[in-house]
Each structure stands twice: as structure tokens, then as C-alpha cells.
Amino acid sequence: PKSGPERPPRCALYRHCGATCALALEAWTLARGVAPVRLDPAHRAWLEREHERFARRLVRLRGRCHTDGAGEGPAETPDADAAEMACSLAALLRPAELRLASLNPG
């Protein structure tokens, strides 16, 4: 195997239990030059949708926490790592949303 981290990275989606996901494991195996995991196309599509949904939720949560009355409601305020990730994700998601809006005006 190639040099690199001994273990695959933990996935933010599964942060609550300190786990990784099959997509992160796949990327890690490819980077290490070892046999990759094999994902069923339907499972891959589901995981990709779940990651996108998680990213959008984190960005929305960050936005709500920066408005008046933040902290009111059931959502947990993101910690520093989650807030930093939300900022990066917002920059990635915003151009895609603008492209979609231009394709579907009104």
C-alpha cells in the first residue's frame, strides 16, 4: 500500500458515533492503492444524497445561528469545526444553487 493515513477519515455525517462512511472508505482505499470497497449504485446514490442533505442542513443551521434570536429552538448550535465546515460548504453549494435558479427562472 501507498503511504498515508493508517485509517480512513471520519465522516461528518456520522460524527455522532465517530464512524466513517463507505464513500470516505472508498476514497481512502483508492488513495492508499488497496482494493476499493464495492458500492451498489443505488447505495452510492443514496449516500451522495444523504451527504448533500446533511451539507445543506448544516449551512441552514449556521445561517439560523447568525440571526436574531439564535439559540431559540430545538437545533443544536454548531461547534467551531461544524461552523467552519458550514462556511466552506456554503461557498460550494451557493454556485450550484445559482446555476439551478438560472435554469428555472420563476
Q: What is the pLDDT of residues 70-100, one digit of tens each?
A: 555 555 666 777 777 777 777 777 765 655 5
47 and 13 within one domain: no
Instruction: Answer yes or no: is pLDDT of 58 > 90.
Output: no
State which amino acid sits at residue 80. A
44 and 26 within one domain: no
Global confidence as pTM: 0.63
Asked which of 19-23, 65-69, 91-95 is least confident by mean pLDDT, the reply is 65-69
Q: What is the pLDDT of residue 61?
A: 80
What's the domain range around 76? 40-106
58 and 99 within one domain: yes
Print the SS3 string covering 42-78.
Answer: HHHHHHHHHHHHHHHHHHHHHHHHCCCCCCCCCCCCC
